Amino acid sequence: MFTKGINEFMYYVPFLKEIIKRDFKKKYYKSVLGVAWSMLSPLLMMVVITIIFSTLFKREIPYYPSYWLGGNLLFAFAMDGTNSAMNSMVNNASMIKKMKIPNYFFCISGVTQHFITVIFSLVPYFVVSMLIGVPLSWKMLLIFFPIILVYIFTLGLGMFLCAYGTFLRDLNYLYHIVRRVWLYVTPIFYPIDIIPEQFRFLFELNPIYVYISIFRDFALNDTMPSERMIIVATFYSILTLILGITTFREKEDRFFLYI
Amino acid sequence: MMIDISREAVEIVNPVINRSLRTDDLDDEEICIDVRNVSVLFNLSKNREDGLKEYFINRIKGKVGYDEFWALRNISLQVHKGDALAFIGRNGSGKSTLLKTIAGIIKPTRGSITVNGTIAPLIEISGGFDRSLSARENIFLVGAMHGHTKKYMKKRFDEIVEFAEIQRFVDVPMKNYSSGMVARLGFALATCVNADIIIADEVLSVGDAKFRMKCEERIQQMLKAGTTILYVSHSAAQVKKICRTAVWLDKGQIIDTGTAAEISDKYMQSLKKE
C-alpha cells in the first residue's frame, strides 16, 4: 500500500506544481505589489509591535525586532497554512467533484502556499537582523530544520481540521477563536521569562512554541537547542501528520456529498 | 396531464443482474471496465447539518436521521476495449453517478470497479475547469491532472486551442466564456490527453451543429484507434450514430442492455407510453 501511495504521488506531481502555481497567482490576483506583500506586511507589523512592546520588554529581549519577526514568521505559517488546508476541499469543490485527484493534494497546496510566503519573508528577516546587528553565524542556516517541522505539523493539523471542517463549517469560526488564543499563549511578542519557572513546562505542550524556540536558538542566540527540544519537536510533527492522514483517509470518501 | 415517474416501466422489466454487453465482433477483446454489483448510497440529510448548532439540536432531539437514497443499485456491467457505450435514461436515473463512480470520483458503497487504462472524464460539460483561470492555465492544469508534464502539454497546446476554436480567447478568464466555449475546450482537452477511456457526459448538447459534426468525426477517429467511449446523451439520433451498445438506466438500476438502436427505441417507446 505504501509503494502504491508513492506511485500515485509521483503521477500527480505535475498536477501539484500547477495547483501550487495557481493558488499562488490567485493569492495576489489584481494586487499591484503582489508577492512583495509577504515581505512588507510582516515588516510593517514589526514596526508597530516594536514600538508598542520593546519599551515593555527592553531589558529581557535583545534584538527585539528579530525576536518578534522570527516568532511571527513560524506562527503565521502554521496558522495560515492550517486554515488554507482546512478550507481546501470547499474551495476546490468544482475540481474534486469532476476529476479523480487525490484530495489531499489540495491540502498540500494550501500549506505550500504559505511555505513560499515564509521563504520570501526570510529576506526581510535577515535584512532586519543584519541592520540591528545580530551576530551572523553558520547556525542560521539550520533554521530550515524548524521550518520543515512546522510544515509537517501544519500539514497534519490542516488535514485533520479539513476532515472535520468539510462537514461542519462552524469549525471555521471556532478555529478563528482558537487561533487568537493560541497567539496569546505563545511567547511571540513577550519573553518566556515572564512566566514563572514552575509553569514553563506547560509551554512545551504547545508545539509552535517548541519550534519557535528552536528557531530562535539557531537564528538569534547562536546556540544549539537542547536534544530534548529537538526530539519533542520532531515527535510533535510526526504525530500530528499521522493523526492528520489517518483522520483524512477515514473521512474523505464522504467529502463529495458535502462540498 | 399527470406527470408520473415511469414506475410502470420499471416494474414490468425485471432487472437482471450481471449482464455482459457482448456484441459478436467484440467477443475476443479484453474487458477494460468491469463493474461488479455496484451500489451507491447517498445520505440525503433531512435537516442540513452544516452547522454545529443544528447538529447538536438535532442530536438532542434524536433526529440525526437521513433519508437513504440509493443512487445506484446493484449495477454490473462489463465494457470491452474499443467499445462505444451509451447510457440512456431520464434525469436522475443515475447516469452521471455511474459515470462518476467509474471515473473514480465517487467510491461505491458496495461492489467493486476495475478499470484498465486511464480515464478522461468530461462530466457535466466542464471537465474540472477552474473558471477563474484563463483557458491557457486550465489546459496545463487539466493536463497535469492526467499526469502530463508541462512539456507534453505545450506540444499539444496549439492543437487543443485550434480544435476548441478559442484562439482569440486563450488568455481570457474562463468565467467569461459562453457555455459552448467551455464545452468545446472540455472536449478538445479530453480527446487530446491520450486517455484510454473517455467519458462524455452530455458534452455535445451545447455545441453548435458544426462543432457537433467535428466532435463526431473526432470520436469516430478515436474509436478506430481503440479508445473506449462512455457516452451520455438525450438525443437518440446521436446515440445511434456514435454508439454500438447501450445501457438503459432507471432509478439507479439497469433496465435493459443491447445494441444502441434497439435500446434507444425501447426507451423512446417507454416514454411515449407514460
Tens of pLDDT, residue by residue over A182-226, are: 999 999 988 888 888 888 888 889 999 999 999 999 999 889 999
Q: How many domains does chain A have?
A: 1
Q: What percent of chain A has pLDDT over 90?
A: 56
pLDDT band at A69 (very low <50, low <70, confident <90, very high): very high
Contacts of B46 (CB under 8 A, 6+ apart): B63, B65, B66, B67
pLDDT band at B24 (very low <50, low <70, confident <90, very high): very low
pTM score above 0.90:
no
Interface test with B, best of A100, A177, A252, A253 (most B CBs within 10 A): A100
Largest Cα–Cα distance in chain A? 59
B105 and A100 within 8 Å at the Cβ level: the answer is yes
pLDDT band at A57 (very low <50, low <70, confident <90, very high): confident
Residue with cell 483522520: A247
- Pick the residue with more confidence: A102 or A2? A102
B128 and A174 within 8 Å at the Cβ level: the answer is no
CA distance B77 to B94: 14
Q: Are strands B245-250 and B84-88 parallel, antiparallel or unpaired?
A: parallel
Residue ranges making up the domain that contains A249: 2-257
Identify the pLDDT of residue B242. 87
pLDDT (average), residues B152-178: 90
Residue ranges making up the domain that contains B118: 7-38+73-273
CB atoms within 10 A of CB B209: 7
Q: Does residue B94 form part of some domain?
A: yes
Identify the pLDDT of residue A148. 97
Angle, helices A227-251/A104-131, rounded to nearest 10 degrees: 150
Q: Is the ipTM of this complex over 0.90?
A: no
Identify the pLDDT of residue B85. 92
Of A77, A149, A154, A63, the closest CA to residue A120 belongs to A77
Identify the pLDDT of residue A110. 94
Phi–psi pair at A17, nearest 5 degrees: -60, -45
Interface test with A, best of B122, B129, B145 (most A CBs within 10 A): B145
Identify the pLDDT of residue B210. 86
Of B198, B258, B186, B189, the closest CA to residue B222 belongs to B198
User: Does B63 reach chain A within 8 Å, measured CB to CB?
Assistant: no
- From A86's Cα to the closest Cα of chain B, the distance in A is 15
Residue of chain B nearest A101, judged by CA positions: B145
Q: Are strands B110-115 and B31-45 parallel, antiparallel or unpaired?
A: antiparallel
Torsion of CA A64, A70, A73, A74, to 10 degrees: -130
Lowest mean pLDDT among A52-61, A144-153, B97-106, B143-152: A52-61
Contacts of A161 (CB under 8 A, 6+ apart): A82, A85, A86, A171, A175
Identify the pLDDT of residue A240. 97
C-alpha distances out from residue A137 to A53, A130, A133, A211, A221, Å? 27, 11, 12, 19, 10
CA distance A109 to A151: 12
A99 and B53 within 8 Å at the Cβ level: the answer is no
C-alpha cell read off for A241: 501528520
Q: Does residue B259 form part of some domain?
A: yes
A14 and B148 within 8 Å at the Cβ level: the answer is yes
Q: Are strands B110-115 and B84-88 parallel, antiparallel or unpaired?
A: unpaired
Q: How many domains does chain B have?
A: 1
A94 and B129 within 8 Å at the Cβ level: the answer is yes
B144 and A17 within 8 Å at the Cβ level: the answer is yes
Q: Residue B173 gets which letter from DSSP?
A: B
- Nearest by CB to residue A94, choosing from B105, B130, B150, is B130
Chain B residues within 8 A of A169 when measuring between CB atoms: 50-51
CATH number assigned to the domain comprising residue B11: 3.40.50.300
pLDDT band at B215 (very low <50, low <70, confident <90, very high): confident
Handedness of CA A56, A60, A63, A66 (dihedral sign): negative
A100 and B104 within 8 Å at the Cβ level: the answer is yes
How many CB pairs below 8 Å do chains A and B form together? 82
Chain A residues within 8 A of B137 when measuring between CB atoms: 22, 25
- Pick the residue with more confidence: B27 or A166? A166
User: Does B123 reach chain A within 8 Å, measured CB to CB?
Assistant: yes
Largest Cα–Cα distance in chain B? 61
Phi–psi pair at B131, nearest 5 degrees: -65, -15
Residue of chain B nearest A172, judged by CA positions: B51
C-alpha cell read off for A11: 503521477
- Name the 3-class secondary structure at A195: coil
Chain A residues within 8 A of B133 when measuring between CB atoms: 22, 25
| Residue A222 buriedness (CB in 10 A; 0-12 / 13-18 / 19+) | middle
- From A114's Cα to the closest Cα of chain B, the distance in A is 20
Residue of chain A nearest B142, judged by CA positions: A15
CA distance A140 to B38: 57
